[in-house]
């Protein structure tokens, strides 16, 4: 990925360090991180777009390399102040930063590719737990740890990955590289995680699959364990700070409703926000959902949003889990507060960054003939993913279930959702507005 931002960044809080800022080193990694900080801290869309064009990998960007997503992230954090450089190498950097809107401290790790400008190969940020010292962040990646991480990652894949055949193929590929010594010289945890991710995706082509490294020790927590009240309270606080991903709700000329949101957050916390957005649009004649920067989320929120678009209970999607063999159905809800938009024309805006749950929303409405998809073919991730802890510093996101549409009997994995009206993402809104205006005019 050009830039990967872990939501776990917001699951713990820390106090300010009190340390004075440190100058970034004049290295490839240092110059790239300085460019990121300058653009991000400016809060200026033009500067952020320029940074993304200059330093992002040419491959399709992830959600955190889009100007929309970075602007939203800036609104949450207020930017970052540099507190300390922990480790500096020509192509690798680890620093301590502090959010400007809070006392939260985090550790940012950056790996760049050789060249000028040095493109971002991998970037992660995680908050520092209360009481943690810099010695807790000094992780030595040795042969024993590399072996432990490889063994752990492959074990998780063989146990849970949605396709056991593909899991075996990934194991063969990784073991071959391991036997050739291709991992032996990797000393950076984040670089090692990025290398394993790339190798696994070369076989699986699964964009949900990835290994992540955390300089901050990861707590052990059984999969069946209920999140602590403290963790739930922190998640709620973060959802409040981000407005549950809802960026804009308005009525455009011609009485066309418009709502842009960049995640399908849990309705347990964010249901009231989604309901308020839809009730604001209760009397529009058409509605546009802007998912161009939406990276997915909770299927239950997808069901909640879709319920406003159907008069009767409607079967949206199924999820089949490999390990249990069970299939879970997702339907619209029997009740939602406020009016439904069951007859109004619906348009969904997409981009290459539209991913996962946002693709399901688009795919469901497309197959049900309930919405017109406008924009670019989406990212192509139809698997459900779950984080599995490997050790104190490494996790692997394992796609453990796959979507099965009740109409098409398949999904959008690897292919993406192909729009009904193909236009560049930047032109999707104006195109959808014209389509809606013309349709409404023809109906009168």
DSSP-derived pairing of the beta strands 383-389 and 372-375:
unpaired
Confirm whether 7-128 and 244-381+416-443 share one CATH topology.
no
Question: Other CB atoms closer than 10 Å to residue 122's CB: what's the count?
Answer: 25
DSSP 385-404: EEEEE-SSSEEEEEEEEEEE
Question: Other CB atoms closer than 10 Å to residue 109's CB: what's the count?
Answer: 25
Amino acid 248: pLDDT: 95
Predicted model pTM: 0.84
285 is written with which tokens?
A: 């004649």
Bridge partner list, 387: 397
Amino acid 187: pLDDT: 84
DSSP-derived pairing of the beta strands 120-127 and 105-112:
antiparallel
Q: What is the pLDDT along the chain (444 residues), one digit of tens a residue?
A: 333 333 333 333 333 333 444 789 999 999 999 999 999 999 998 999 899 889 986 554 454 556 767 887 888 889 999 999 988 999 989 899 999 988 888 888 888 999 999 998 888 877 776 666 666 666 778 999 999 999 999 999 999 999 999 999 999 999 999 999 999 999 888 889 989 999 999 999 999 999 998 887 887 877 666 777 877 887 888 888 889 999 999 999 999 999 999 999 999 999 999 999 999 999 999 999 999 999 999 999 999 999 999 999 999 999 999 999 999 999 999 999 999 999 999 999 999 999 999 999 999 999 999 999 999 999 999 999 999 999 999 999 999 999 999 999 999 999 999 999 999 999 999 999 999 999 999 987
Measure the N-to-C terminal CA separation of the chain; round to a whole number of Å.
48
Amino acid 123: pLDDT: 83
C-alpha span between 292 and 189 (Å, rounded): 32
Topology of domain 7-128, CATH: Nuclear Transport Factor 2; Chain: A, (3.10.450)
Amino acid 16: pLDDT: 33
Amino acid 3: pLDDT: 36
Q: Where are the domains of the chain?
A: 7-128, 244-381+416-443
C-alpha span between 317 and 303 (Å, rounded): 9
CA distances from 341 to 57, 95, 208, 287, 346 (A): 40, 49, 32, 8, 9
244-381+416-443: CATH number: 3.90.226.10
DSSP-derived pairing of the beta strands 246-252 and 210-213:
unpaired
441 is written with which tokens?
A: 């005019």
């Amino acid at each position: 990925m050009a830039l990967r931002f872990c939501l776990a960044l917001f699951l713990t809080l820390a106090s300010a360090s009190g340390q004075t800022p440190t100058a970034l080193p004049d290295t490839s990694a240092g110059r790239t991180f300085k460019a990121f900080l300058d653009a991000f801290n400016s809060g200026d869309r033009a500067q952020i777009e320029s940074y993304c064009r200059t330093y992002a990998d040419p491959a399709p960007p992830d959600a955190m390399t889009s100007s929309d997503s970075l602007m939203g992230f800036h609104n949450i954090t207020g930017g970052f102040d540099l507190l300390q450089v922990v480790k500096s190498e020509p192509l690798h950097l680890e620093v301590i930063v502090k959010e400007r809107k809070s006392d939260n401290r985090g550790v940012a790790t950056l790996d760049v590719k050789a060249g000028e400008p040095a493109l971002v190969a991998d970037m992660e940020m995680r908050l520092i737990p209360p009481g943690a010292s810099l010695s807790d962040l000094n992780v030595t990646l040795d042969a024993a740890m590399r072996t432990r991480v490889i063994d752990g990652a492959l074990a998780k894949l063989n146990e849970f990955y949605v396709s056991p055949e593909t899991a075996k193929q990934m194991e063969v590929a990784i073991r071959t590289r391991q036997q050739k010594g291709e991992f032996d010289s990797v000393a950076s945890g984040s670089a090692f995680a990025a290398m394993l991710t790339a190798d696994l995706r070369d076989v699986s082509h699964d964009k949900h699959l990835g290994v992540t490294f955390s300089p901050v020790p990861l707590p052990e927590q059984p999969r069946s364990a209920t999140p602590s009240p403290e963790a739930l309270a922190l998640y709620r606080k973060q959802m409040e700070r981000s407005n549950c991903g809802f960026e804009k709700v308005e009525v455009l000329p011609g009485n066309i409703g418009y709502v842009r949101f960049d995640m399908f957050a849990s309705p347990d916390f964010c249901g009231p926000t989604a309901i308020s957005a839809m009730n604001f649009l209760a009397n529009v004649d058409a509605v546009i959902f802007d998912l161009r920067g939406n990276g997915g989320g909770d299927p239950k929120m997808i069901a909640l949003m879709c319920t406003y678009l159907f008069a009767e209970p409607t079967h949206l999607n199924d999820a089949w889990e490999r390990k249990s063999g069970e299939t879970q159905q997702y339907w619209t809800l029997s009740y939602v507060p406020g009016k439904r938009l069951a007859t109004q024309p619906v348009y969904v805006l997409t981009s290459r960054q539209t991913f996962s749950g946002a693709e399901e929303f688009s795919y469901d409405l497309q197959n049900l003939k309930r919405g017109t998809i406008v924009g670019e073919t989406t990212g192509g991730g139809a698997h459900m993913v779950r984080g599995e802890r490997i050790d104190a510093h490494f996790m692997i996101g394992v796609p453990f279930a796959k979507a099965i549409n009740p109409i098409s009997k398949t999904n959008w994995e690897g292919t993406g959702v192909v729009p009904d009206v193909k236009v560049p993402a930047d032109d999707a809104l104006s195109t959808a507005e014209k389509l809606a205006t013309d349709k409404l005019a023809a109906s009168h």
